[in-house]
Structure 1
């Protein structure tokens, strides 16, 4: 995340870091955003969401049994948690740029490896590896790019980075069926080629390690522009944000797991309608991060996140209370947009709570991502167990997600976590 001089420049103070010589060129900023977009598209959008429409073909081609296919899907969640925990240590050891390049290569290698089902253990290993790459990239990508973006445009830039998640969701509903016409192995290889292209696009876009503003950390340039000691971190507000983000994961997992199956089998509307619903979910997910970033730049990340939580409650409640096609479609759009959209908002809130402490920003975002990953993995296994024990009670699972989101929204209102977030949240 930004060095102290970047934070000072973002707040309008005059310093050498704000000069053209120290600030990255507009072209470099655009390349950095493109790199972040490519990373989220590859390591999260495709590596996670492309697996969902591949489960039936994996079973039909007798690569794996149904139980094995579900277990292999969960391997990505476990790897994501590991990546969230290991991302910062890896960056400290090798640097952000090298770590991000390595994770992009790892996610790419996983696609090629999955084209050869040598054994369940082999496939599990590479699904885990793809999740690990996704978790590490989620922790590191934005923190490598956003320091170079003016504070008033970070919502938009964060949205552009995380719109890759939405593109991946949409691609999983449109690209995968076309690739499957060539065969299952060719589908994995095709995804690998796409991943390799995205890795090449991002390769030279990652900002330098350390960022250009690092020079401003010397006594000659910061003696009169930054305070000698950062203000104490708002620990209570951050702890509340971590808890909210974890609850957000518990609220979204049922939709990510069961929405298509609910429409296709639960409501009896067929696989084609279920697939169309997933495409609608993906289309909304493309617009979600940009819309959330645009709104947050105008009303603040705190208010925007509170509104997002309320909308998610409405979306999941619609799935519980109604089987009407319009209600299901509205819920799909809301939840599709906010699945990646809340990532932009939570990252913005973290930065707003710690506006002049880059190291603390990186640590806080890593903790937030870990909290989300932990509850995502636990929720995935827990909801699967509950679904089996309840004999396929879809509305019960959606109701559990609604309760989690209601708790997150109430905690935000009661806790007043918007207080003290400073100018970036204003």
Structure 2
């Protein structure tokens, strides 16, 4: 009985993480909330106010949004190189400070170049935090809880979406300058909370199993393409959902904003639910199920099924916009179980592919929307096709991986 009791005790320890580890998870949550949830998404509801206050012309204000996206891509590309020079902890803290400083700096409309530099810096901080924060923490979490931990970390993105539709309008009642300062203050508070809770030591490395597979490069490349297609498939909801409800369905901006809040609520809880599913079913199976559900949800606006279905579509797509992120990160861990350095490199590549495809899809869908005379259904059909393609690639890659040696896959 003693060996069995000891074995049960070890299993219980693997299912639970220490308070210090969960504190580190909350630090990464704060980092994703600052770098992505606020530094990226808070500008969307601020855009009309910036134009209305005559700080910038509409075209210039749109370019400022593009500057943030370009900065995000730069941060995703250079984040690991920066951390190798400054150390991981210094880089994480520095980038949270940069995102915070960008909000304070934007409280004064000094000029277009000033704003462009700080919006670019905010995007770069977000891209760097996306690449570094979760991989800095998840190796310390017991494997049986990594899905849940990843979900909590990326829940910060969804909280930022909700804040963009709730907190920002409240702050705008006090004035545009006060709104930028208020967002900076929120980032300062989150930075203080996260400052000292990052893991201080490297996780114990797991000895390679004699039966361990070599890195599955083919499966990884397929995963990069799937994640990129997924990013493109979300674009119709992320850019056109509010406009579709307001103008396409003639329900007005207020109704469109309500659907955006529902989208944000889904984005808040999606990562935790997806992570919990992955802890039970595995990241690969959970990701395939996510692709299937997303394909159905993205298609709903094109089918004209009514308000209840559109509500479901908004919540489900919002949930997977953030929920797919921990699934892909966990899937990389499944494909490279004994290669932690390669896991971080693979996550950087996946993030870059995501950013590139989402930016390209945003411009491409915008062009198609104008070319088609405002055909919303076309956009949602194409988004659905991207999701189906992602699922098909994953299934085909799985079949091929069973037919050829691991080294070739």
351, 371, 375: which is aligned to 2:357?
375
After TM superposition, list the pairs within 5 Å mapping 1:71-86 onto structure 2. Answer: 71-86=63-78
Deviation per residue, 1:357-399 (Å, 9 max, x gap): 1101101111111110111121222222222333332222222
Q: Is the 8 A contact 2:227 2:354 kept in 1?
A: yes
Q: Distance in 2 between matches of 1:287 and 1:417?
A: 32
Given the alignment of the two structures, is residue 204 of structure 1 paired with residue 196 of structure 2, yes or no?
yes
Deviation per residue, 1:250-280 (Å, 9 max, x gap): 1112211111121112211111111111111
Q: Which residue of 2 aligns with 1:58?
A: 50
Given the alignment of the two structures, is residue 315 of structure 1 paired with residue 307 of structure 2, yes or no?
no
User: What's the secondary structure of 1:49's corresponding residue?
Assistant: coil
Q: Distance in 2 between matches of 1:180 and 1:99?
A: 32
Q: Structure 1 272/305 Cα, relative in aligned 2: closer, same or farther at 3 Å? A: same
Q: Which residue of 2 aligns with 1:273?
A: 255
How far apart are residue 417 of structure 1 and its match?
7.0
User: What's the secondary structure of 2:148's corresponding residue?
Assistant: helix
Given the alignment of the two structures, is residue 233 of structure 1 paired with residue 224 of structure 2, yes or no?
no
Q: Is the 8 A contact 2:218 2:397 kept in 1?
A: no
Q: Which residue of 2 aligns with 1:162?
A: 154
After TM superposition, list the pairs within 5 Å mapping 1:1-400 onto structure 2. Answer: 26-208=18-200, 210-211=201-202, 213=204, 225-226=207-208, 231-322=213-304, 324-400=306-382
Q: Which residue of 2 aligns with 1:6?
A: none
Q: Distance in 2 between matches of 1:171 and 1:137?
A: 19
Greater than 3 Å deviation, 4+ residue runs: 225-231, 417-420
TM-score (norm 1): 0.87
Q: Structure 1 124/395 Cα, relative in aligned 2: closer, same or farther at 3 Å? A: farther
- State how many pairs are aligned: 391
Range moving further from structure 2, 227-236 or 140-149: 227-236
Q: Which residue of 2 aligns with 1:4?
A: none
TM-score (norm 2): 0.91
Q: Is the 8 A contact 1:302 1:418 kept in 2?
A: no
Q: Is the 8 A contact 2:329 2:347 kept in 1?
A: yes
Q: Structure 1 389/119 Cα, relative in aligned 2: closer, same or farther at 3 Å? A: farther
Q: Is the 8 A contact 1:240 1:417 kept in 2?
A: no
Range moving further from structure 2, 357-366 or 384-393: 384-393
Q: Distance in 2 between matches of 1:166 and 1:175?
A: 13
Q: Which residue of 1 aligns with 2:398?
A: 416
User: What's the secondary structure of 1:182's corresponding residue?
Assistant: coil
Q: What 5-or-longer segments of structure 2 have no aligned partner? A: 1-6, 403-409
How far apart are residue 419 of structure 1 and its match?
5.8
Q: Which residue of 1 aligns with 2:388?
A: 406
Q: Distance in 1 between matches of 2:136 and 2:223?
A: 22
Range moving further from structure 2, 154-163 or 67-76: 67-76
Q: Which residue of 2 aligns with 1:423?
A: none
User: What's the secondary structure of 1:48's corresponding residue?
Assistant: coil
How far apart are residue 92 of structure 1 and its match?
1.0
Q: Which residue of 1 aligns with 2:406?
A: none
Q: Distance in 2 between matches of 1:191 and 1:60?
A: 19
User: What's the secondary structure of 1:205's corresponding residue?
Assistant: coil
Q: Is the 8 A contact 2:139 2:203 kept in 1?
A: no
Q: Which residue of 2 aligns with 1:424?
A: none
Q: What 5-or-longer segments of structure 1 have no aligned partner? A: 1-11, 217-221, 421-426
